[in-house]
Amino acid sequence: MSIATFTILSTSLNKQTQVKILLPKKRLEKQPVLFLLHGLSDDASAWLTMSSLARYAEDLPFAIVMPDAGRSFYHDLPAGERYWQYLTTELPQFLRTWFNWPLTRTTTFAAGLSMGGYGALKLALTYPERYGAAVSLSGCLDLNQSWSEESALLDHVFGSQAKFQNSSANLLNLLANQEVSHLPLLQFIGTNDSLLADNRSFHTFGRQYLDKLDYREQTGTHNWEFWDTYLPVALQWLNQRYQQLNPSK
């Protein structure tokens, strides 16, 4: 595999931003792409420096795209950068233009940890016509559960809890869309993770609407040891979903 770093002058962010791309050994005509999102304290390089991603993905078909999103929760900030617009519009257009990747539902997937787990599920639940499956590792999936602990940050990102509650930024609201019912999602969460309640709440609510919600509680906490342990499992799960959507591949 090869690792490429691109610096993009983003109109959505009004600044330069980096994206890391892990390119597979073999290019495919209809290249499968995995958007792999970082957590609150990390950046675009985190998956490459803190986990064994390159080794785990070596024999998989995915081009793995790792954008930078600061501490934005991949959201359009009320008085700042439009990270959601960048992630959903500008970055995909860049990838289509420079790599000619189709980015269709059968070839596009999302995953992430913590803040990135929230971002990955938001991508798939908002655009089920674009994403074939998504994975959350220790994701912040029901932010109402932890709002009081991170109120300053979350108020800065989403405006206020009242605004967040009834908006499309609230993942629980996205679950009620009938078009997402067949979307395969996978949750990993540690039994000693502070976000365990978030994940249990999302799972309880989500199983009312989703046919394919795979939920796994494992021993562990909110750290890279946990994420590196279950990253290869998540990648293999995503590859299975890719193979199911593309049975001739």
Summarize pLDDT for 173-192 with one digit per residue, the tens: 999 888 999 999 999 999 99
Task: Please state, in angstroms and rounded to a whole number, the distance separating the CA atoms of residues 20 and 25.
Answer: 16
Nearest to 144 by CA among 190, 192, 71, 197: 197
pLDDT at position 128, please?
97
Give mean pLDDT, residues 217-238: 98
Give mean pLDDT, residues 55-70: 97
Task: Please state, in angstroms and rounded to a whole number, the distance separating the CA atoms of residues 195 and 174.
Answer: 20
How many structural domains is the chain composed of? 1
How does pLDDT run across 92-134, given as a tens digit for each residue? 999 999 999 999 999 999 999 999 999 999 999 999 999 999 9
Which residues are within 8 A (CB) of 15 and not within 5 positions of it... i.e. 6 or more apart?
Answer: 9, 81
| Range of the structural domain that residue 80 is part of | 2-245
Position of tokens 């049975």? 247
pLDDT at position 249, please?
56
pLDDT at position 178, please?
87
Is the pTM higher than 0.95? The answer reads yes
Q: Are 130 and 95 a contacting pair, CB within 8 Å?
A: no
Q: Determine what percent of the chain is predicted with pLDDT higher than 90.
A: 93
Q: How confident is the model at residue 210 (pLDDT cuts 50, 70, 90)?
A: very high
Average pLDDT of the chain is 96
pLDDT at position 26, please?
87
Q: Which CATH number covers residue 123?
A: 3.40.50.1820
Q: How confident is the model at residue 65 (pLDDT cuts 50, 70, 90)?
A: very high
Q: How confident is the model at residue 148 (pLDDT cuts 50, 70, 90)?
A: confident
